[in-house]
Each structure stands twice: as structure tokens, then as C-alpha cells.
Structure 1
Amino acid sequence: MSNNRRNLYFYYPPNKELDDKLAPLRDLASENGFNIQEEPEQANIIISVGGDGTFLQAVRKTGFRQDCLYVGIRREDEAGLYCDFNLDDYDSMVHSMLHADLEVRRFPVIEATVNGEASFLCLNECSLRSTLIKTIVVDVLIDDLHFETFRGDGLVVATPTGSTGYNKSTKGAVIDPKLPCYQVSEIASLNNNRYRTLGSSFVLSSERKLTLSVQQDGNDYPIIGMDNEAYSIRNIKELSIKLSDSVVKTVKMKDNTFWDRVKRTFLDE
């Protein structure tokens, strides 16, 4: 680990048990020349302690910082597609950070703009879903050209790393994060003579812009999911999505690729 990256901030929900469990790791880090910071703005390494949900929150709550690295630590019973380290293995974690047994990887991020005004970044996915017991109707445009009119429960727009989450549960494909792209998947689409969609997920390159235009038919208050946070915004008219120039920089063990983690999470018994 570079000498100019020595300021650590630990992010996790308040938890006395975790406080006690992290005390030896904090001490070990301090003994090896790392500085423990009380505020994330003072750190250049932000360490998330928990599963993938906590990692997503750590990135969101610290503003998708471009000037720092994010590190994920998981516990045995938690999913860890973003987390390379195990909470119970302090020594190997510090050894890896000291002896450069790590590589920096850059995860794509999507930018979602609501009604041409507020913009949000998403590391996993952005979803548009009905809040009523009623389908939502959305015109789908690619580069401002009408592609299809969707009617159903909603749509999920996922990054490559987010492809293993909500997107996968909608039968979307798992995408290699080295590909600069994003994926659109349907949630319970209704296909008939009036409404017809592709009926499968599709992948857009980094050069494409996606626009989801909500038809104003009384179901105008959908839920917009940004990673693992929900936003209920009145009068949703349009959601514009593109691949952002920002990335999330994380560290990984050299022998722990994305596909190693996918295999371990979904295929190993």
C-alpha cells in the first residue's frame, strides 16, 4: 500500500459487538503506521465493515469519492461480492496492505437524473417500480429514439457489478465489470397486442443514453431505488440514465477476481 494512503476510516452501523471486534484490528493498523480517522473526510482509505449492503452505504454516504480507495470487510455469514477481506483474519489483511499484495480495481457507476434536475450516482443499480397495486407504463428511449413502451411492475438498470444483485433475480445476465456498460431488465412485464417489449434484458454501451419516460396515467409516484435506498419523488416524468465518468476505486487481493467471487457466492457448496 502506498505510503500516502495511511488514513483509515471505518464505516459500519453503530454496534457494540463490532466495536469490540474491531479493536484489535485498529490497534494492529496503528502499530503498522496507519492513522485511524474519526471523520470520513479525513481519510483516503474507507473501510466498510459488513456485507455488500454496508459497502454500498459506505460509498453512498461518503459521496462516491474519487480521491480515496474503498475496502470491504465481511463477516462469515454475509455476502461479500464487494468484500475481499474476512473480519476474523486481521493479520492477513494488514500484511496485504503493507506488502502490496493488492490491486486497485475500478467499478463502473451509473448516473441517474430525475426530471432533468437532481442527479444521483449508483454503484449497483437504479430501479423504477410501481408503488401501487397497478402496473406502470414507461416509454423506453435509447439515445432519444423510442425503443419500446413497457407496462409492468418496473425496470432495473444495473451496473456490471450490480448485475449479480436485483438484476440477476429478474433473470438478467451477470456482466464482467471490465466491460464499460450497463444493463436494463424487466420486472413482470405485460405483453399483449397493445404493449409489447423485448421480453429480455439488454445491454447498453458507455456511449448510450437511456431515458425512461413515465406515462402520466395516475400512477405517477413510482419508487426510484438507488442501490439499497428508496426515493419516493412526486410526479416522476422522466429518468435519464448514463454511465458516469466517475468510478468506485476498491482494492482486491491479486488472486481474488470478480469471477472467483461469483463462483464462491453462487456455485460453491
Structure 2
Amino acid sequence: MENAIEIKNLEKVVIAIYGKQLESSFKNELELLFDILEKHQVEVVIYAPFYEYLIKEFNLQISIRALFRTSGEVKHLADYMLSLGGDGTFLESVAFIEESCIPVLGINFGRLGFLANISTEDIGAAIDLLLSKKYSIERRSLLQVFTDKNPFLNFPFGLNDLTIQKKGTSMINVNAYIDDDFLCTYWADGLIISTPTGSTAYSLSVGGPIVSPSLPSFLISPIAPHHLTVRPFVIPDSCTLKLEVTGRSGEVDVSLDSYSHTMTLPLILEVKKAPFHIGLVNLQGTNFFKTLRNKLLWGVDKRN
């Protein structure tokens, strides 16, 4: 496949597993997953807090090769990253693989599951397809955030979006510049800068467009703007976007995917395309457009 990410050729398949808390009703599905991995002689490297949680809460007997707590302990070891949870868990798993190009597959133990698009009912079939290499790897771009005293310094990258939101009741003002050319001032409750992957997340809920993942772009989507003339805007991801944020409250909440911090105003943020991609596993028979129809009911018409 064009632009496919090369998979390391090891004698035994090594799968890293990341997860958090799951509902107790999923015990049978978890047992099935680990039984299948053991049957296929897959070597499991699992996130240590999640492993401890599974032993304590589910009393599972899991055969593992190693535990990991940091990206350095896993990103050069595993062939795949398996995320167990919803889309939030999937986004957190990305921080552990960083630039290593380990492909990520998500099994949905959460709600919507747009990124984690494998249902628990399909665990067996999904693992069989993965180990039989019946899949393609879709390259997804990330954004990178630059600012003084960057609270996201450990992993200043977002697969979905950067969100700036007011803290309190007063609107914020955001002067936006594209490659140092002034775009406009947003008077709004907040502003979302998203990747094409993030176009089906928060940006979508404020009226942003859905963008194909292969389109090299950023989306600028205001949250409750006090303008009749400001709408979501798509720009090339080759641009540098500078945001100057001010407001009466003196603080704003800044979120990068699943991580959020309160930052002091005035604030200057720069957003650029990250220097690496994340590889998403599309199992045979699945792709972005099928997920769009299944998860967001794209094009569904009761008349048909």
C-alpha cells in the first residue's frame, strides 16, 4: 500500500496493550482476548497500572513478557499497540509509541469508538486478521504545540486537537495568524485547532466539517463565537498557526487530546504539523468511510 509504514520482522509477534478502567461486565471479553493471544503465542507487553488493575479487579491470569510505564520501555519493543477502551484511551496510547511508527489498533470497550472501532463482539476475528497481516496501515498526521513553559512538554503532540476554552463566564479573544499573516480576532468561548482525524471529534460538535484523513490540513473551529461572520476554516498543515490569547478572567483551559491544563493569560501558542505520523490499523474490510457510516450514520436516510 502506498505510504504504508513498514512493520518490524520479528520471530514472535509482540503486542503492547494499553488500557484504563473498564466495566466489570467485560470480564468474559477480556479473558477471551488474552486466551486468543496466548493461543497464538503472542508476547504481551502491558501497561503496568492496567495490568495491576486487571489482576485486582478481574482476577485474570495473564502471561506477559514485560510491563511498561514509559514510552522508552515499549516503543522499540512492540510490533503493535492494542488500545482497550474508548477513543480517549486510544489517544493516550499514542503518547507511548511517539515517533516509533508502531501501528495502533483499538478495541472499543467505551461508547462511540470512532478510533477504537473494533467491537468486543469481533475480538476473535480482529486478532486473527491482525496476526494474518490482513490489514493496511493508514498514516495519520499530528499537530505540535509550542509555547513558553509548555505544560505538554513530555508529549506536545495531538492526534485529535488543541482546544483553548474560557475559564469562567467571560469570552476570550484570540488573534490568529497564519504564517505571520493576520487572519482575524475570534471573540468566543474558545477555539479548536484539529487535525483531519480530529474533525470527527469536538470540532464536529461545533459545526466543523468532516475531513478525509489523507488531506494535509488543519481545521480552525470557534466555540460559540460572538460573530455572524466567523465559521470553521480549513488551512494547509504546512502553515504555522500563531494564536495570541487574552481575556478578562486571566486564565484559560488548554487541552491537547486527553490532557488539559490551566494556563495564565496573556498566552501565545504556535501550532505546526508534527514531524512524524501515527499508523492506524485498518483491518481487512474496514476503512474510514465505512466507520463514518457505521459510527456517525453518515448518509442514513429512513426513506431508503
CA distance in 2, matches of 1:214, 1:83: 33
C-alpha displacement at 1:235, in angstroms? 3.5
Deviates more, 1:19-28 or 1:256-265: 19-28
Task: String of CA shifts for 1:129-184, please: whole Å, max 9, x gaps.
Answer: 11020010111111112111111111101111110111011100000001111100
1:233 aligns with 2:263: yes
Q: 2:290 aligns with which of 260, 264, 269?
A: 260
Q: 1:35 aligns with which of 43, 47, 51?
A: 43
Task: Answer whether contact 2:203 2:221 (CA < 8 A) is retained.
Answer: yes
Let me know the Cα RMSD of the aligned residues. 2.3
1:203 aligns with 2:234: yes
**Letter of the structure 1 residue corresponding to residue 114 of structure 2:** L
Task: String of CA shifts for 1:93-129, please: whole Å, max 9, x gaps.
Answer: 2220222211111111011112385651011110111
How many residue pairs are counted as aligned between the two chains? 261
Q: 2:277 aligns with which of 230, 247, 266?
A: 247
- 1:102/1:183 Cα in 2 relative to 1: closer, same or farther (>3 Å)? same
Higher RCO (CA 8 Å, separation ≥ 6 residues): 1
Mapping of residues 61-140 of structure 1, within 5 Å: 62=96, 64-75=98-109, 78-115=111-148, 117=150, 119=153, 120-140=156-176
Match of 2:128, SS? helix
Q: 1:26 aligns with which of 23, 31, 34?
A: 34
Q: 2:212 aligns with which of 172, 176, 179?
A: 176
Deviates more, 1:135-144 or 1:65-74: 65-74
Deviates more, 1:25-34 or 1:199-208: 25-34
Deviates more, 1:248-257 or 1:112-121: 112-121
1:48 corresponds to:
83
Task: String of CA shifts for 1:41-76, please: whole Å, max 9, x gaps.
Answer: 14332111112122112223x15342412110014x
Q: 2:201 aligns with which of 151, 159, 165?
A: 165
- 1:212/1:16 Cα in 2 relative to 1: closer, same or farther (>3 Å)? closer
Deviates more, 1:15-24 or 1:246-255: 15-24
Match of 1:97, SS? helix
C-alpha displacement at 1:2, in angstroms? 6.3
Match of 1:222, SS? strand
- 1:177/1:129 Cα in 2 relative to 1: closer, same or farther (>3 Å)? same
Task: Answer whether contact 1:59 1:65 (CA < 8 A) is retained.
Answer: no
C-alpha displacement at 1:238, in angstroms? 0.3
Match of 2:113, SS? coil
In percent, how many aligned pairs have the same letter? 22
CA distance in 2, matches of 1:167, 1:198: 18
Task: Answer whether contact 2:101 2:277 (CA < 8 A) is retained.
Answer: no
2:61 corresponds to:
none
- Provide structure 1 residue ranges, at least 5 long, that are not aligned to the other structure: 192-196
CA distance in 1, matches of 2:147, 2:274: 15
* TM-score of the two chains, using structure 1 as the length reference: 0.88
Match of 1:189, SS? coil
1:144 corresponds to:
180
CA distance in 2, matches of 1:230, 1:173: 24
